[in-house]
Each structure stands twice: as structure tokens, then as C-alpha cells.
A and B are shown apart, each in its own frame.
Chain A
Amino acid sequence: MPNYHGLFVILSSLLPCIIFLIVFISIDGFIKGVVIQNHLPNSLILLGQEEVDFSVSILRNNIHNLQSILSLEILSTDSANSLYNYYFFYRAGFLTLIICITTFLAYLAGKKLNVRFDARRNVEKILKFIFFVFSIVAVLTTFGIILSLIFETVRFFSQVSFSEFLFGIHWSPQTAIREGQVGSSGSFGAIPIFTGTLLITAISMLIAVPLGLYSAIYLSQYARPKVRNYFKPILEILAGIPTVVYGFFAALSVGPFIRSTGESLGLTVSTESALAAGLVMGIMIIPYVSSLSDDVMTAVPESLRDGSLALGATKSETIRKVIFPAALPGIVGAILLAISRAIGETMIVVMAAGLAANLTANPLSAVTTVTVQIVTLLVGDQEFDSPKTLAAFALGLVLFFITLVLNILAMVTVRKYRERYE
């Protein structure tokens, strides 16, 4: 099988080549910086670190076209030429090195080939290893998330105390950017944010759980197969609509509607209310509740249903007293997943819930959530070391762990349920 022999040579030479290239690309930026810094004139270095960083970033972005920025007078023509040559030789040298290594490896692999050589098994071993590396990517992503969040959070807590963040009731990170002002450290008490998140999640679950469960009951227990096949996908469209569309709908139609209704009843309602965001989010989450509940209720063994019906129970009594309790763990799992989804939902609350961190349980007032704060702290101009931006990562860590716990709980309950009836 000659193609396996060819494949063996290609894999054993190109694979190291690709690894080298990846290493090259990841250290390229660093080396570029060092090369550039060595070429900066002394007069500029005396001006201080900020000036140096600025010049390095300009040169870095224009390294292929240094002539065009001579007018900025960072470098003289000579040193620009020398910098370009250095850079050119460094790159060309590295590429030549990689090509040489690859050719050498290809030669070695070619020498190995002979009649007795089992190329297929060797190729498959290499491929299996590559696949294994790919399957690690998901794990690396999780580690990447945890590490980057923890890293920034630790930096955040070196500036803001842990107890203030978890137990403080004042959240106004904005003041932190103005220096020399009273309270310029800002206040980072996250309690109003957590209560706001809980309030909106609670409202959305009040909508999604009953509507989703009853829809699932109807679709799985009452509806004829034809009706079910027709309506189930339509219901799931609700989960497929982009969240930004819900957010726009909530801000444009639902918010003003609630406000005008509230005013005609003599209530003061802010345009951006927890109720508007929660209502719309609840509608979005209906299919998350109904889809999984539907599955678990359909999976309840027929014998249980038949037994109950045979004893003279009506269909609704069977559902309420036999099927529902039997499917309860699965339904709880579905609800947990829906809660995790609601907590992590971003666009609806960003567009409809507002920014004011009010500590209130009144659904008619504006509240803010963890996700809204992450977005507002990180969108737009940002300095990377201020507690303001770092606070977003601390909030992100909280969000990640809460949803992680909910997801794992949900997974465990659903798995237990599946085992019971298998």
C-alpha cells in the first residue's frame, strides 16, 4: 500500500514543521519587540517607558513599510534600514531553519521505508495522536477560561477587598477612573448586581417554567403525533431567534408597553424595568424547559402509565400523580439548565434592564445584572490595570462558577433519572 508509505513520510516531516511554525508565530511578537527596542535611539529611551512602548507599537505595526513612517522621526534612515535588515534576516533565517529540519526529517522517514516496514500501523498511530490532541482542545478551553478569569480576579482582589466585593451593597465602578477624587477607589459591592440577576432570573422562570411544562405536557401526552411533529419544531424556533432580537423587542415594545400600562394604573415604572427583561427572557427560555421535559416525560415507561389508567385514573390524574413524579428528576434538570441559561443571558438584559445598580426587589424598577456589568465595564475605552476592568473578570468568574455548579447538578440529576429507567 504505497499511499501509506507516502503519508508516513508527509506526516513525520510536516507535523514537526507545523509545531515549529506555531511556536514561531507565538514568539514572533516578543522577538519583534526585542529587535525593535534594540534599534531605538538612546535619546528616545531616556524619555521614559511610555514613549518607548508607544514607538515600539508604531514600528511593530509598520515594520514592512518603515519608509512611510520616517517622517515621524522615531528612527533615522540608517537605523530604519538596519532594523528592516535585522528583521528580514531573523524571519528568513527561521523559515530556512524550519525548511531544513523538515527536509531532514523527510529524509530520515524515507530511509525507514522498506518492504518490511508497517507504514499503515505507524500512520494510524500518528493520526490517533493528532486526534487525541484535538480532543484536548475542549479541555484547554475550559482551563483557559478558568486560568484567565482567576488570574485577572486575583489582580482585582489585590486592589479591592474580597469582603467588599461579596458583601458590599454599593456598586459604582465609574468613579474609579477619575483620579484624586473623593472615593476615587470606586465602590465594588456586588450585592445589588447579584440581587438584580436573581430578580430577573426569577421573573423569567415564573414565565418559562409553567408555560414550558404545560406545553411539554400537552405535546408529549395529549397531542396527536401529527400535531406534535408540527408544533414541537415551531416551539423550538423561539430558542433559535438571536437574543439581540429579543433584546430589541424588549426595549422597543415590551418596556414602553409595561410603562404605559403601569402609568395608567398609577404606578411609577421605569422604561428599563426588570419586568420587561424578565418577561421576554422567560419567553426565550420556554423551549429550553419544554424540550427536555418533553423528552423525559416521553421516556417514562409505558407500564406506569397503563397501570394508572387501568386503575381508573383520568389522564390528567395519571400525568400529575404518576408521570410527573416519575419524570421529576429530569424536569428538575431541565429547569436547572434553564436557570443557568437565564443567569448567563446577556443581550436581553443589556438592552432592556438598565445599568443602575439598585438594591431592590421591585420588578418595576431598573436593575442590573452580572452580564450587563461585564459588558458595560469592558466595552469602549479601557485601561487594563484599573479595578474597573478587572472587576468584570471577577464578575465573570462568579458567573462561570454559578453556571458550572448548575450545569453539573443538572447533568447529575438527568443521568440518575436515565439510569433509573434503563
Chain B
Amino acid sequence: MSKNINSMMLKRQSAEKRFRFYGQASLAIALIMLVVIISSMTYRSIPAFTNYGLNLSINLSKENIAQDNINYRRLIRDNISLLDSGCDDRKCRKEFLRLFSSGAAYELRDTIENDPSLIGKDFSKFILFSDDADLFYKFGIDNSLPESERRLNDREITWLNGFKELGLVEKRFSTNLFTNGDSREPEIAGVLGAVIGSLLTILITLIISFPIGVLSAIYLESFAPKNKLTDFIEVNINNLAAVPSIVFGLLGLALFINFFGMPRSAPLVGGCVLSLMTLPVIIIATRASLQSVPPSIREAALAVGASEMQVVFQHLLPAALPGILTGTIIGLARAFGESAPLLLIGMVAFVVDIPGSFTDPATALPVQVYLWADSPERAFVAKTSAATLVLIFLLIIINLAAVILRKKYQLKW
């Protein structure tokens, strides 16, 4: 009998341990996945932060021309040809030129425009290699593949090795990543355009959703009569918070673009769509934070003769403000990382220029990640990972702001 009980107890105890272990294991798996995702993005993004290039000497001393008349593309081409390629036919020279980034001419133009005194001098300029050459220096190349299946042929590899032996090759931090807009060339593509586009979009979202959200929450919480209509509004808001984001994109396409004729690809429309999405989040957060203000404050203000409106704006709102702002920031952070609705309203366009206004064509950072992830060039893998890191980094900053705000100003009752 006691033997039975003992074995039963053992069973129960081991079941207990097992159960607890399952809990710990699930939590551990979830956290490990978090670490895996972040670290795999970080690891894969490392190559994107550096670029290989070489110092090309530019001879402008012999030529005596006005700044406006310089053909930069040709200038770069001529000076690259001065490097020893050992070429005698056109095809070979073309191949040699292809080793260098096609953005080099633009960079040379910017350098000379910043410092016109360079005209008439010889100077050296750091120019980037093209993405294939860059990848060769970063990862080497698989020689076992037949030449036709490689991105670089044997001759190109010989040239690249030659540069290295001559000590011409230099590795520099890739500022392009942070100062350029999008480009078809991985070595000159950057996230700045997308970041600005995102900021413009979020600004519109904030301007629209914050006042509407806070004021409608105040109405529902403090002034609304209890009737069918306000019940309906409440159910509506709760449901709206759980509507898939892509449905808001469909609404934006049908309503803002096709019906109102607003411009496609513009941060203005993106901001409008995202603000409809953020609205319920702000309303719910504001209501929760107004509810957490103790009724005694309201009653005290009413007792000394304040009107309902004065109670709300002079007493409840200041007390609830930290909570409201935290909720707003969290809602905006979600909008910042959102991409699906933006795809539908055309913010997936290939935009090289950095957007300067709310109606310029623009893209957003998450959409840029999507676009780059779709690009066939291998160098874009690292770029995409770097862009996701930038995205995550910005989100961390936004969320930290919310946490600090809450810690510092939240009132404890």
C-alpha cells in the first residue's frame, strides 16, 4: 500500500518537475529565437558597413576647362584607363571599367563642386569598387565554379589581385549607407531617403492621430452619455484595433488615392493611412490613463466649482499626460515598423532622391527593407540586414523614450 503511494508520489513529483521544465523551456525557446534573429541580422549586416575602393589619381592640371564643362563620367573613365590594365581592345577596357562603381563620377562631381580650386591640379580621389569586386575582396570567390557561372571572370580576378598586390586597395567605413538615398548599385545605396520618408510619414500620423485620439478618448471617458451610440463607438474602436493592417491599405487606396485623388507614393497619404491605424491605440491608451486618475481629484475639482471641461483640462489631463504620451509613442512605434498598408498606396516606388516634402514620392524604412530583400544582387543581402538593424535601432530609441517618460513622470496614486 505505502509502496503504491510512494511510487504515485514519485510520479506526481516528476510530473510537477516536467511541467515546470516545459514552462522554462518554452520561455527559453522564445528568447533564444529573439537572440537568433537579432544576432543573425547583425552578423549578416557586417559587410555592409565597409566598402573597398582605391585612391585614383585625377589629372586635371593639363586640362584647362571651366567647371561647368567637365564631363565627369569621361574624366573618371580616362583616369581609370591610366591604371595598368594591359588591355588592347574595347571589350577588355569595358570589362576593366566595370570593376569600378558607376557612382564614382557623381562623387567626383560633388568633390569638385565643393572645392573648385581642385581644377587645374592633380589630386587623388577615393573611388569605390563595384559590388562584385567589393564582394571579391570581402569573401573571395569560389574558384571551383566554371568561369561562365561566376560573377567575375579570370581576367577580372587577375586585375583585382593585382590591385591588392600593388597595395592600392583600401577598406573604408561605408558612409554611403547613411547619407544616400536608394540606388540600383548596392555600393552606393543608402537608407537616408527611406529614413526621412518614414519620419515625414510618422509626423503626419502624429499630427492627425494625436489630437483626434486624445480628444475623442476624453469625450468617451468624461462627457459621453451612456447610450447605444457610444456603446457602438466603443465596440468599433476595440475592433478597429484588431483589423489587419493591410485592410487599412485597401481603404487608403480606394478612398484617399482613387476617390480623393491624393498623390500616390506620398508620405501624406501614408501618414493618413497609418493614423487611422494608430487612432484606436491612442484612444485606448488615453482612456486607460484617464481611468487611472483617482475619482477624488475629479470630485474635489467639481466641489470647488470647476466645470466638467475645466476638470478634464486642468486636472485629469495633466495627471494622465505621461500615460497618454507613452501610449502614443508605442502606437507610433508600431506605425513606424508597418509596411503592408504602405505597399498598397504605392510607397514601394524606387526613389533615388531624398524626399523634401509631404507630397514628394517617398518610401519608408520597412518598405526599403522589403525592396532590398527582393533585389537579386548578392551585396543587397548585407545592405538589407544593415537596414533592418537601423530600423530596429530607431525603434529601440523610440521605445526607450516611452519607458523613460513613464519612469520619470508617471504619477503613483
Contact between A241 and B251, CB atoms less than 8 A apart: no
Taking CB atoms and an 8 Å cut-off, the chain B residues in 301-315 that contact chain A are: 307-309
Cβ–Cβ < 8 Å partners of B99 in chain A: none
How close is A210's CB to chain B, nearest CB, in angstroms? 7
Q: Does A157 contact B (CB under 8 A)?
A: no
Count how many chain B residues have C-beta atoms less than 8 Å from C-beta atoms of the other chain.
Answer: 86
How close is A158's CB to chain B, nearest CB, in angstroms? 17
How close is B359's CB to chain A, nearest CB, in angstroms? 11
Taking CB atoms and an 8 Å cut-off, the chain A residues in 102-161 that contact chain B are: 120-121, 123-124, 127-128, 130-132, 134-139, 141-142, 144-145, 148-149, 151-152
Q: Does A283 contact B (CB under 8 A)?
A: yes
- Please measure, in the bound complex, the distance between the C-alpha atom of A320 and the C-alpha atom of B16, giving whole angstroms: 11
Q: Which of A92-100, A186-194, A198-206, A345-353 contacts B (4 or more CB under 8 A)?
A: A345-353
- Please measure, in the bound complex, the distance between the C-alpha atom of A396 and the C-alpha atom of B381, giving whole angstroms: 32
Contact between B255 and A148, CB atoms less than 8 A apart: yes
Contact between A253 and B279, CB atoms less than 8 A apart: no
Q: Which of A149, A214, A314 contacts B15 (CB 8 A)?
A: A314
Contact between B20 and A346, CB atoms less than 8 A apart: no
How close is B327's CB to chain A, nearest CB, in angstroms? 14
Q: Does A266 contact B (CB under 8 A)?
A: no
Q: Which of A62-70, A73-81, A400-408 contacts B (4 or more CB under 8 A)?
A: A400-408
Q: Does B79 contact A (CB under 8 A)?
A: no
Contact between B276 and A241, CB atoms less than 8 A apart: no
Q: Does B151 contact A (CB under 8 A)?
A: no
- Please measure, in the bound complex, the distance between the C-alpha atom of A219 and the C-alpha atom of B30, giving whole angstroms: 13
Q: Which of B162-170, B240-248, B290-298 contacts A (4 or more CB under 8 A)?
A: B240-248
Q: Does B37 contact A (CB under 8 A)?
A: yes
Q: Does A399 contact B (CB under 8 A)?
A: yes
- Please measure, in the bound complex, the distance between the C-alpha atom of A129 and the C-alpha atom of B385, giving whole angstroms: 49
Chain B's closest residue to A217 (CB) is B23
- Please measure, in the bound complex, the distance between the C-alpha atom of A272 and the C-alpha atom of B237, giving whole angstroms: 36
Cβ–Cβ < 8 Å partners of A218 in chain B: 20, 23-24, 26-27
Chain B's closest residue to A123 (CB) is B309
Known A-B contacts A316-B20, A399-B247, A407-B239; the reply to A286 vs B219 at CB < 8 A is: no
- Please measure, in the bound complex, the distance between the C-alpha atom of A142 and the C-alpha atom of B44, giving whole angstroms: 42
Taking CB atoms and an 8 Å cut-off, the chain B residues in 70-104 that contact chain A are: none
Cβ–Cβ < 8 Å partners of B22 in chain A: 214
- Please measure, in the bound complex, the distance between the C-alpha atom of A404 and the C-alpha atom of B239, giving whole angstroms: 7
A residues contacting B by CB (< 8 A) are: 26, 29, 120-121, 123-124, 127-128, 130-132, 134-139, 141-142, 144-145, 148-149, 151-152, 210-215, 217-219, 221-222, 231, 234-235, 237-238, 240-249, 251-253, 283, 286-287, 290, 314-317, 319-320, 337, 340-341, 343-347, 350-351, 371, 374-375, 378-379, 384, 392-393, 396, 399-400, 403-404, 407-408, 410-411
- A sample of 18 cross-chain residue pairs with beta-carbon separation below 8 angstroms, ordered by A number, consists of A29-B261, A132-B219, A134-B219, A142-B239, A222-B24, A235-B27, A242-B392, A244-B366, A244-B367, A249-B40, A315-B16, A341-B242, A347-B339, A347-B366, A379-B348, A396-B247, A396-B250, A399-B247
